Amino acid sequence: MIPESFRIPLGTWIESGVEWLTDTFEVVFDLIKTVLLALFDAVELVFAGPPWWLVALVLSGIALWAKGWRLAVGALLGFVLVLGVDQWDNAMATLALVVVASTIALAIGVPLGIWAARSDRVSTAVRPVLDFMQTMPAFVYLIPVVVIFLTGPVPGIVATIVFALAPGVRFTELGIRQVDREVVEAGHAFGSPPRRILREIQVPLAMPTIMAGVNQVIMLSLSMVVISGLVGARGLGQPVVSSLGRIDVALGFEAGIAVVILAMYLDRVTAGLSDRSPVARALRATAA
């Protein structure tokens, strides 16, 4: 029998915790907000500023370099479709959000992953935090983020970073731990300092796995886009959210297809980049 009065006020505690955070670190949060907003505006300007055809051509050019002409042509067609359904500006805002969020997530995640790979203690400490971040429903931590950062692109970016961080750490740690132990030993045996072993052996050999992590981070960022539309971040999330409110199938589908096109583009390009790493090339040489 559970007594009527039994109730752990966990939610209330968290709530007052968040309030306390907001008050105490107001200056810090304001600073973060300003910096992220400036970053986002700058990146968005790069994508949305120039005429659409120029941006589409450059993006297709990147696809050409990363993978080949097939992907480049496909990307170009996709971008024309995005323009055709009148989602160009939203798509560019989303792209800017993904670029900012995943760059920051990787800038935190990859070094953390390297650290975790080199220290079992860090690894054990980090793991439950990552589990928490990955499994907690994204909507839930959107709430405190909104309390702290109010609305606009910043809460979207922060929530996206938190949500997408984990695979960056995990894949990096896994990749480095998987590197052939004897090759690392060879580095030590010839007197290489640990830093140089990291730079010359561990990171290059882990690169295919790290790139898979990069890919995951980007895809997760993109999937947060719709959710961040809820809190007023510009981008493809907004038409999705409003179409849901108005039961507007047409608009919902058009915005949805734009998300899919961006996702495919980002996925193929990062996969292409990972194939271009020296190790991936060396592995292909075996088959040749």
Partner 1 sequence: MTALRADGVYKVFGRRPGEAVRRLREGATRDDVKGLGTAAVIDASFEVQPGETFVVMGLSGSGKSTLIRMLNGLWRPTAGSVTLGDADLSTVSARELREIRRRRVSMVFQHFALLPHRTIIDNAAYPLALQDVDRTERRRRAGEALEMVGLAGWEDHLPAQLSGGMRQRVGLARALAADTDVLLMDEAFSALDPLIRREMQEQLLELQQTLGKTIVFITHDLNEAMHLGDRIAVMRDGRIVQIGTSEQILSDPANDYVAQFVADVDKSRVLTAASVMVRPAALVTTSGGPRTALREMREAQASAAYLVDRDRRFRGVLRDEDVVAAQRAGTEDLTTLVQDGLTPVAVDAPLMDVFAPSAESPLPVPVVDERGRLVGVIPRVTLLEAMSPTEVDA
Binding residues (CB under 8 A) for partner 1: these are 180, 182-183, 185-186, 188-193, 196, 200-201, 204-205, 278-279, 281-283, 285-286, 288
Q: Which is nearer to partner 1, 187 or 252 (CB)?
A: 187
* Whole-angstrom distance, CA of residue 244 vs CA of residue 250: 11
Nearest-approach distance from CB 197 to partner 1, in angstroms: 10
Count CB neighbours of 263 within 10 A.
16
Q: Cβ closer to partner 1: 70 or 281?
A: 281
H-helix or E-strand containing 170?
helix 153-178
How many Å apart are CA 228 and CA 155, to the nearest integer?
A: 7
Side chain identity at residue 239, one-letter code: P
Summary count for the chain: helices (H), strands (E) = 14, 0
Shortest distance, position 191 Cβ to partner 1, whole Å: 3
The DSSP symbol for 202 reads I
For the bound state, the minimum distance from the C-beta of residue 271 to partner 1, rounded and expressed in Å, comes to 19
> Least distance in Å: CB of 206 to partner 1?
11
Q: Which is nearer to partner 1, 74 or 187 (CB)?
A: 187
- The residue among 62, 102, 143, 131 whose CA lies nearest residue 225 is 102
Of 231, 234, 228, 230, give the one whose Cα is nearest residue 162: 228
Return the residue matching tokens 């029998």.
1
Q: Which two tokens stand for residue 262?
A: 């961006």
Min separation Cβ 119 and partner 1, Å: 16
Q: Which is nearer to partner 1, 61 or 193 (CB)?
A: 193
Q: Which is nearer to partner 1, 164 or 198 (CB)?
A: 198
